[in-house]
Amino acid sequence: MSEAWERAVAAALKGRTEPPRALTLDCAVKCPSGRLPPPSFFEGRLAALEHLSVANVRLSSLEGFPCLPALRRLVLSDNRIVGGLHALVDARLDALRDLDLSNNRIASVEDLAPLAKLRLESLDLYECPVTKIEGYRSKVFGLFGSLKYLDKADANGNERTETDDEEEEDEEEEEGDDEEDADDEIVDEEEEEEEGDDGDEEGEESDEDEEDEGDEQNGIEDEGNNGTANAEHKNKNANGGSKNGTGGEHDQVKHQNNGVLQHKSSSKRKRERDDDA
């Protein structure tokens, strides 16, 4: 049976490891023996509980109820409790102010007498057989000097407004939600950091790729410039060759002209010698 309660507590705490102040185990386990697990089950890591709800678990006996000195609100509704309420007194629940026993099997005001030793401010017996007794409300208020609300209404029949205990309960629930949100935020931050690291690595790889592409592009441009320079050099050489060729032709023509002039001069000198003879 303790294993079933262990699983129920683990599910209710949702992985939280710090000592809880509020714990709800409604319908979590169906007690075949009609009893809660041994007191040691609660008195360890659950000793700081301020709000405990164990509704609808087929509980019929409170014998051996755990000592929870900080407990302020206890919900035992929708069970099979007939009596034995002195077990709550024996557990020294001195801080208990709000007790919900609605829809149980308590049938007489006398069964409630042991609870007078507790300083209860709110007691809920709705749907219990005792509520059918004539003068039930006045008798119960007379039994508890500290009682302010019975079945969510005061002695004058005015419905109970939200009490400090209920406000504290809401704050505890909000704190639990805040703790879960904080855990989620931590997980989200870690995931974001991992994504950021991945992004940085991807950015570095991208930068390296861009540098490689730039080097390749520069290489292509250098090859293009070299090719252009070589082409210009070839053209220049070709032009030089053309100029040399043209120069050679000019020299040949000039040489031919010189030969003609020399031939004419030789013929002229020959005629002059013939004339003198």
DSSP secondary structure of 99-113: EE-TTS----GGGGG
Angular region, 34: left φ>0, alpha ψ -120 to 50, beta rest: left
What's at 17, amino acid-wise?
A: T
Q: Which residue reads 């000097």 in tokens? A: 145
- Which pTM was predicted? 0.62
φ, ψ of residue 53 in degrees (nearest 5)? -125, 120
| pLDDT at residue 187 in the model | 47
Fold of 1-161: 3.80.10
**For residues 261 and 269, what is the distance between their CA atoms, to the nearest angstrom?**
12
Look at residue 158 and give its three-state secondary structure.
coil
**For residues 55 and 100, what is the distance between their CA atoms, to the nearest angstrom?**
9
Residue 90 CA, distance from chain mean position = 44
Look at residue 144 and give its three-state secondary structure.
coil
b/e string for 187-211 if b means 16 or more Cβ within 10 A? Answer: eeeeeeeeeeeeeeeeeeeeeeeee
Question: Domain ranges in the chain?
Answer: 1-161
| pLDDT at residue 70 in the model | 97
Question: Contact at 8 Å (CB) between 95 and 71?
Answer: yes
| Four-residue CA torsion sign, 73, 78, 81, 83 | positive
Q: Which residue reads 């900080």 in tokens? A: 70
pLDDT in tens, the chain (277 residues): 678 999 999 999 988 889 999 999 999 999 889 999 999 999 888 999 999 999 999 999 999 999 999 999 999 999 999 999 999 999 999 999 999 999 999 999 999 999 999 999 999 999 999 999 999 999 999 999 999 999 999 999 999 886 544 555 555 555 555 555 555 554 456 566 666 555 555 555 555 555 555 555 554 455 544 444 444 544 444 444 444 444 444 444 344 444 444 444 444 454 545 554 3
| pLDDT at residue 237 in the model | 44
Work out the number of other CB atoms within 10 angstroms of the CB of residue 250: 10
> Which are the contacts of 50, defined by CB distance < 8 A and separation ≥ 6?
21, 22, 70, 71, 72, 73, 95, 168, 172
Angular region, 152: left φ>0, alpha ψ -120 to 50, beta rest: left
Look at residue 61 and give its three-state secondary structure.
coil
**For residues 24 and 194, what is the distance between their CA atoms, to the nearest angstrom?**
36
